[in-house]
Structures are given as C-alpha cells and as structure tokens.
Amino acid sequence: MVILAAISTYPVYARHFTSAVAQAWTVRNEMHFGPALEGVGYSLGLDDLSISAVELTVHVGDSALLGCVSQSTGEKHVTKVDWMFSSGKHIEDEYVLFYYSNISVPVGHFQNRVRLVGDILHHDGSLLLQNVEETDQGNFTCEIRFQMESLVFKKVVVLHVLPEEPKELMVHVGDSTQMRCVFHSTEEKHMSRADWMFSSGEPAKEEIVLRYQRKLRTPMGYSQNWGRFLNRVNLVGDTSRNDVSIMLHGVKESDGGNYTCHIYLGNLTFRKTTVLQVILKESRTLVTPVALRPEILGGNQLVIIVGIVCATILLLPVLILIVKMAYGNKSSVTSTTLVKSLENTEKACAEKHIYSSITTQEVNDEEESSGKSEATYMTMNPVWPSLRSAPISPPDQRSTWGMAKTEQAF
C-alpha cells in the first residue's frame, strides 16, 4: 500500500519502473489477493501495467480456451508471451508455454496439451488447454510484452476443474437421451458452425446427425436434421455460450455407436465423442437383482457375506455331530420300544394259551357231566313205576321205596 501511494503521488517515478520490478510486484499482489480478483478487470493506475482476472470452470477431459488479448490500440509488435501456472499451494510458479521470436514452446507436463492459438499480430496470446486434468486447477497467468516498451499486459485465469463427465451413455429402446458438447472459453468468441456426426463403429461412412450454422443476421442461427435422425434430434444447448448439446428422442437399437461433436471457431476446432449403448426392452425384465448383485455390493456387504460363509463352514461339523447324536438317540428309543412290544406280545400269547387250556378243560368236564346226567336220566327213566299201575300207599312207604330203587339202580 505504501508503494501504491508513492506511485500514485509521484507519477514521475512510475515511468522509470523497469518491467522486471513491475512484474515481481504484480506477482506478489496476485498471490496475496487470490480469488478476490476473480471475474474482475482492473488497473493499478500505472501507464505501463494492466492486470485482469477471470474464472473458468471445466470438466476433466475437456478443452479450454484461456484468453489473453491486450486492449492496446498501439501498433507496437508483441515480442514475448509467457504463460505461467500456480496451484496456489505455496509452490513456485512453473512455465506452461513461452513465445519469443515467432516461436512458441510448451514446457513441463503441459508440453503435449497446450498450444498458442491467438493471433500475435493482433496482440492475442490466447492458450488452448486440451485434456484438462484434475491437477490443472489453479491460476494461469499470461504476460504480454511489447517492442521498445516497458508496458506489460497481464491476465490471470482462475481455472476450476470438475470431475469427468461420462463418456458412455446407456439408454433403453424408445427412451430419450441428452448428449452434451460445450466449448469452454474465457473470450466471447462465437462459433461459426457445429456438426454432430454418427458412426456405428463398423467400417462405414459417417452420417450427419445435426448441423448448426450461424447466420450474420440471425444470432441464434439454425439447425438441420439429416437422414434417419430427421425429426428425432433437437438442439438444446445455448449456442451463445458455444453449447451445442442435443437431445435424441425415440432411441432405436440401430442408434448405438459413436456420436462426435465438432465446434468451429474461426481456425480453431473443438471435438468431443460420446459412445451410446442401446439396451433392448426385453433385457430390462430379464435382469434380476441376483445378476446385478456384484455391481452394487459394497465393501461392508462383501465382508458380511464372507463372514456368513466362514461361519457356515466352521459350524458344519458341529451340525453334523448334532444330527448324528439325534439319530442315535432316536434309534435307541426305537429299539427299546420294539423290545418292549415283543415282550408284551409274548406275555399275551402265554396268557392266551393258559386261558385257552383252562377253558377247554372246563368245557370237556361240563360235556362229560352233562353226558353222564343224560345217561343216568336215560337209565333211570325206564325203572320208574307207572303212576297208574302202582298201588296207592302211604307217603312214607312210597318215598322209602323210591329211594331204595334209585340206590339200587346206581
């Protein structure tokens, strides 16, 4: 703050600041202010220094245009362009790319992913960053120096990196799906054209899905569907933001394949490919929870299943022993019951034999006694005198005679 006050109070000293001192001062202040500068263009009030900062959010795997265009109206040529990166983790800045004497050289781990795409003759030192990585999140600083000038134009791009969007989409027959295609840029550069192409993956010619062209008098432009995609594809993206995302309706089985989006911004072309997999309606009913089980199992569920299996294996011998003991007890009880049943049967047979013998003997005795009585009766019957022929005698005499006769017969 003291330096700022001194410079603003004594502008004479500002003209004698070397570019190196000014650069060092601005770097320290950028690291200090950080996100407070986001999205704001500002000046320190110096004749030889301009600083601005913007924010940009992209996904892993996307491409991003980091703009760096000087607003100077002078005709002086650009002599040097430097791009630096800082992750904001108290690590020294590293070079991304530098331009000098009509030669641009990418360096470090950005070597195969960056290139200078701006028009140097028009004070444009914009940088194209491709295949964005998670570690690319941080501050990208651009510095443009001019011939025979101590003026340094500086711009900071704060890059935020989000997780990667899915490159493969799965959709059922008859459903609709959206395929995104956005070109991220800090500059208000409008695309001139965008194409969506389809390839089934077989060695065949690509088919046009949708074509967008921007007319001079129609800012929104117009889009056309082609071939078998006619009336089934809509442009749903905001073309003013270089978003040409599409919606595919009534998906067919033959729609499975690669969909490639091309966005043209002057001599710059952005490309993105999405793979679409189509699932038949019948397969939706054939999929069972058991078949999907391996995909949705978490770590805790696997541990539980393994524990159950191990416990079952350990308890199996115990279960077998218990079953054997139970079977042995059941066999002993059955044998004891069988023995008792046999003993009862033998006793019953013996008693039946005894009772049968006794009954037979009693019956024989009765038959013999009855036979004897009958025989006696038969022998006694003829010796009885007839009541008509026997003389009437006194009762005493008749009874005595009768008894004597009976005894004689016996």
pLDDT digits (tens, 9 = 90+) for 374-385: 444 444 444 444
Kindly tell me if the per-residue pLDDT of 1 is higher than 50. no
Kindly tell me if the per-residue pLDDT of 258 is higher than 90. yes
For residue 144, being part of any structural domain is answered with yes
Total number of residues shown for the chain: 410
pLDDT of residue 8: 36
Using CA atoms, how far residue 388 sits from 198, 381, 403, in Å, is 150, 16, 19
For residue 81, being part of any structural domain is answered with yes
For residue 23, being part of any structural domain is answered with yes
* Residue 346 three-state SS: helix
For residue 243, being part of any structural domain is answered with yes
Q: How many CA atoms are closer than 13 Å to the CA of 348, on its beta-carbon side?
A: 6
User: What band does 33 get if pLDDT is binned at 50, 70 and 90?
Assistant: very low
Of 286, 309, 341, the residue at which a domain comes to its end is: 286
- What value does the mean pLDDT take over residues 339-366? 53
pLDDT of residue 294: 47
Q: Are residues 87 and 145 in the same domain?
A: yes
- What value does the mean pLDDT take over residues 59-75? 85
Of 145 and 408, which is predicted with more confidence? 145
Q: Are residues 200 and 157 in the same domain?
A: no
For residue 248, being part of any structural domain is answered with yes
pLDDT of residue 125: 92
Of 129, 162, 195, the residue at which a domain comes to its end is: 162
Of 128, 162, 196, the residue at which a domain comes to its end is: 162
Classify residue 358 as exposed, middle or buried by CB count within 10 Å of its CB (0-12, 13-18, 19+): exposed
Count of the separate structural domains present in the chain: 2
Q: Are residues 139 and 251 in the same domain?
A: no
For residue 221, being part of any structural domain is answered with yes
pLDDT of residue 282: 65
Percent of the chain with pLDDT over 70: 60
State the CATH number of the domain containing residue 263.
2.60.40.10
pLDDT of residue 213: 87
pLDDT digits (tens, 9 = 90+) for 42-57: 344 444 456 678 999 9
Of 46 and 134, which is predicted with more confidence? 134
pLDDT of residue 301: 77
- What value does the mean pLDDT take over residues 232-258? 92
Of 92 and 20, which is predicted with more confidence? 92
For residue 34, being part of any structural domain is answered with yes
Q: Are residues 275 and 244 in the same domain?
A: yes
pLDDT digits (tens, 9 = 90+) for 182-193: 999 998 888 889
Residue among 60, 254, 243, 64 nearest 166 (CA): 60
Q: Are residues 194 and 70 in the same domain?
A: no
Order across the sheet with 246-248: list the strands: 177-179, 246-248, 233-235
Of 37 and 246, which is predicted with more confidence? 246
pLDDT digits (tens, 9 = 90+) for 214-239: 875 555 566 777 788 988 999 999 98
CA dist 65 and 159 (Å) reads 11
Q: Which residues lie closer than 8 Å to 244 by C-beta, 6 or more apart?
A: 181, 182, 191, 194, 196, 212, 235, 237, 261, 263
- What value does the mean pLDDT take over residues 28-42? 36
Residue among 83, 129, 128, 121 nearest 102 (CA): 121
Contact 186, 129 (CB under 8 A): no
User: What band does 64 get if pLDDT is binned at 50, 70 and 90?
Assistant: very high
Q: Helix/strand/coil (H, E, C) string of 245-292?
A: CEEECCCCHHHCEEEEEEEEECCEEEEEEEEEEEECHHHHHHCCHHHH
Of 290 and 164, which is predicted with more confidence? 164
Which range is most confident: 23-37, 190-204, 273-287, 384-398? 190-204
User: What band does 28 get if pLDDT is binned at 50, 70 and 90?
Assistant: very low
Which range is most confident: 23-27, 232-236, 280-284, 306-310? 232-236
- What value does the mean pLDDT take over residues 166-192? 91
- What value does the mean pLDDT take over residues 113-118? 92
Q: Are residues 18 and 87 in the same domain?
A: yes
- What value does the mean pLDDT take over residues 404-409? 41
Q: Are residues 153 and 182 in the same domain?
A: no
* CA dihedral for 115, 121, 125, 126, sign (positive or negative): negative
Q: Are residues 145 and 281 in the same domain?
A: no
Task: Supply the range of the domain harboring residue 196.
Answer: 168-286
Q: Are residues 178 and 230 in the same domain?
A: yes
- What value does the mean pLDDT take over residues 245-259? 94
Q: Are residues 102 and 185 in the same domain?
A: no
Q: Are residues 132 and 281 in the same domain?
A: no
Which range is most confident: 119-128, 172-181, 295-304? 172-181
Q: Are residues 194 and 115 in the same domain?
A: no
For residue 291, being part of any structural domain is answered with no
